[in-house]
Homo-oligomer: A and B are copies of this chain.
Amino acid sequence: MLPFNSLISSSQLSPDIIAKIFSLTDDMAAMIDKQGRSDLLDDKIVALLFFEPSSRTMLSFQSAAQRLKAGTVFAQSASSTSFEKGESIEDLIRVVEGYSDIIVMRHAQPGSAAIAAAACEIPFINAGDGGNEHPTQAIIDAYTIYKHKGRLDNLHVVLGYDSLQSRSIHSLSQLLAQYANNRLTFIGPAKLFPSDQLLAKLETAGVKCDVKEQAVFTDEVDVIYLNRLQEERFEDRQLFEENRLKYRLQRADVENSDILVLDPLPRIDEICTSVDSLPNAAYFKQTSYGVPVRMALLAGLLHKKP
């Protein structure tokens, strides 16, 4: 049902494919509400290979496989496995495809997903390859906007606070660039603005882009998408502390508004916990959509219709 055998990069996600995945995701969410689990992948084995720490993505893929009653085989953190004793990624994949019907892999090495998918004769999903790609997260983010705003076009989206190095901000902004009339404002410390390369790419695609050190949340804004500042990006701890306190979404910023507040999580300081109880704070809902989205991808790549 999906026109590819492997999901490696968010660049594979055209509006048509996104629409197909969203429709499948809706079916999966309805199934969970109605009956908890289904037999859809009852005859399949999902391999979950997590060669880099990741609780959220890992638990969410486990849940997706279990909600569809697939069997799972699971290996975590390569540091203790023979997969690190000089064995190639290609060999690893050819071994694991003998044990399963679809492979989900997270790996620290950028580009590892493409190498794996090329060697893989069964469907393959990239669950994050280092700082490179994390396409299932991009779909979850887009799905959350779609469910709460009803559209992926004609949106003003504010993204921060580290737009330079966030894999999820890169993917989401490029995904939104495929839809008409979107406007993106990147906020945060100037040193963490997106690269000129990304900005040029987005402008070429027709997106109006701004960068701002001071965040302003007016009624024109539809969505705020925030991630945490990382201490290791700053020269000294004091500079980090200053920025950490400066770049924090307060309840007053988004109270009594329709601005949808998102965060790929984990949340550290970027959003005050007092925001959590607002009806427009959707980050926990967002993480929960990870399950039906990943169910849709597993089922879609295995050509199983709900």
Chain A residues close to B by CB (< 8 Å) = 35-37, 42-45, 47, 53-56, 58-60, 62-63, 66-67, 69, 71-75, 77-78, 80-83, 85-88, 90-91, 94-101, 265-268, 273, 284-285, 287-288, 290-291
Contacts and interface: CB of A to CB of B under 8 A. Distances in A.
Given A53-B82, A56-B95, A267-B87, A45 B71 contact: no
10 contacts: A45-B67, A55-B78, A58-B75, A59-B75, A60-B99, A66-B73, A85-B268, A91-B266, A98-B288, A99-B291
Given A62-B73, A97-B288, A98-B291, 16 more contacts: A36-B43, A36-B45, A45-B66, A53-B81, A54-B81, A56-B95, A59-B73, A59-B99, A63-B73, A77-B80, A85-B268, A87-B266, A87-B267, A91-B265, A94-B284, A99-B291
A266 B60 contact: no
Given A66-B72, A69-B71, A36 B47 contact: no
A131 B69 CA distance: 37
A53 B82 CA distance: 8
Contacts of A63: 45, 71, 73, 99-100
